Chains A and B, each alone.
Chain A
Amino acid sequence: MKFTFMCKEPPSIVPGRGRYKIAIVGGGPAGLSAAGYLACRGYEVHVYDKQPLPGGLMLFAIPEERIPPENILEGIEELRDKFNVEFITKTKVFGDSKPREDEGDKLVERIVSLKDLVDKYDAVLITTGTWRSRRLHCPGEEGPGVMSALEFLYELRIYNKGYIPHKPHIGNRVVVIGGGLSAVDAAMEALNQGAKEVIMAYRRTIKQAPAGVYEIRKLINRGVKWMELVSPTRIIRENNRVKGIELQKMKLGEPDESGRPRPIPIPGSEFILDADTIIEAIGEIATPPFENEYLGVKADRRGRIQVDERFRTGNPKIWAAGDVVTGPSLIGSAVKQGLYAAKSIHLELTSKKLV
């Protein structure tokens, strides 16, 4: 990805502008697109990321067969080598309290306070994405053999890159809960990792599945079993090891606030499915680098940072964009937000200079 698609070279010294320093927190598609725009405008850009490499979910979750890693890495190298964007990796940024534990924190070596960045830079853009998974909160969930799709995919990637010595353990009979892109990817990878049987369990029907009928059919062709109109009620353990999962049958009701028919549980329809591994892929939640509210920046109940139409937060030096603003979306949406937020920062800083 050529994040600097708008210019060939960094501008040769633009008087005054080079002095502005901008920190970007989170180097996923939103942060990197913003970095490209701002580097083309001649700003000094520093990208902070908790991973050993920027790239976000494109490098650390989405399977390589969909996104060739070299395509992302080449874009990052160009930002670094040709446009002097500095990457501060393995560094988690958080408000000045004890940082919340998110997923993908395994390789973090340093914590930097968000307040320090706001003091040190002329503008800060937050693009930290959605690095927490929604959990089922059902009995039996705690303990080995149950993980989130993000946790599973992330650990597989960092194992393959040589950052950790052990692969995430995947058993013989895997049940993946969910019908979105993460569920599809987790099911695929479980199969690739040698699971004998992979079952996808979704509470609506294939028609409503966010991953789309086509993606799911493709998985079925590859040997994944599809089970619809079911929802988990508890995970069954024996000597702490997962033995199975109890599912309840559902029927479709009137459309809910998402516009899709609401799944309604059918009482007494519970049944048990044998399984030794459960992967929960029921959605991710935004992970702002603070809790609730910090320095005038507010997050809603689902962690999403509140911004105006120009991506400004309640703090005049802080902007936010990407999935940390929208909740889980697609790369295209994150790229778009990153670009427009960067432009907003540029407009703000240029108008400041004129005064």
Chain B
Amino acid sequence: MASQSDPITFLRYIDLDRCMGCGTCESVCDFIHDGKPFIKIYETSIGVKIPLSCMHCSKAPCIEVCPTGAMRRDESGAVYVDPMKCIGCMACLYACPFGVPELDPDLRVSTKCDLCMDLRRQGLEPACYAMCPARAIIYGEPRKVSDEIRHRRAEQLVRARLEGMITLG
């Protein structure tokens, strides 16, 4: 298994400008995890719905604080729980700035998104990314993800500039 210092080969980014809160990510995640989704939609006070899931932090505090070494990083960079080592103390939840790890009351261990480890092992993509209707989830090699994000922002800037010129003219 990878250590905290190995390079990250995959990154998932949720483009909140594109996300329409339709819940497809949560649905497919629910389906492949038998009713326990690890990406979930939350509706904020102004009526905007956004998905929240593990950020798979590059310097993951949950990995740092885990007393049994159950919270780990796989060879692609995804942070996951080894249920055999987890004691369900939830120190990871205290450490997580996003409140992501959750206790599985049946298995008595911490659970969270593992970027669809099973699918990735078969050469497939994380389900939320594969199925997002709005292409709001960007996933891949970190540099490519950054490029895609900036490409989208460039489009927005140009549109804003052109719209400005049209309204002024």
Contacts and interface: CB of A to CB of B under 8 A. Distances in A.
Q: Do A and B come from one complex?
A: yes
B122 interface: yes
Interface in A157-214: 209, 211-214
Contacts of B32: 6
A8 B47 contact: no
Nearest to B20: A66
A55 to B, nearest CB: 10
A212 B26 CA distance: 20
A8 B123 contact: yes
Interface stretch (B75-83, B85-93, B95-103, B132-140): B132-140
A215 interface: yes
Interface stretch (A13-21, A305-313, A334-342): A334-342
A339 B26 CA distance: 13
A29 interface: yes
Nearest to A222: B163
A134 B24 CA distance: 26
Given A2-B125, A2-B130, A330-B22, A335 B28 contact: yes
B124 interface: yes
Interface stretch (A42-50, A67-75, A120-128, A233-241): A67-75
A186 to B, nearest CB: 16
Contact of B22 (A211, A215, A331): A331
B30 A336 contact: yes
Contact of B31 (A66, A211, A339): A339
A1 interface: yes
A212 B27 contact: no
A188 B123 CA distance: 41
B23 A333 contact: yes
Given A2-B125, A212-B49, 11 more contacts: A6-B32, A6-B127, A58-B133, A66-B20, A212-B47, A331-B22, A332-B25, A332-B27, A332-B41, A335-B27, A336-B28
Instruction: Kindly list the 7 A-B residue pairs having the minimum CB-CB distance in the complex, ordered from nearest.
Output: A332-B23, A212-B47, A336-B27, A5-B130, A2-B130, A331-B22, A332-B24
27 contacts: A1-B131, A1-B132, A2-B125, A5-B124, A6-B127, A7-B122, A8-B123, A8-B124, A29-B133, A33-B131, A67-B20, A211-B47, A212-B43, A212-B47, A212-B49, A215-B47, A331-B24, A332-B22, A332-B23, A332-B41, A335-B24, A335-B28, A335-B131, A336-B23, A336-B27, A336-B28, A339-B28
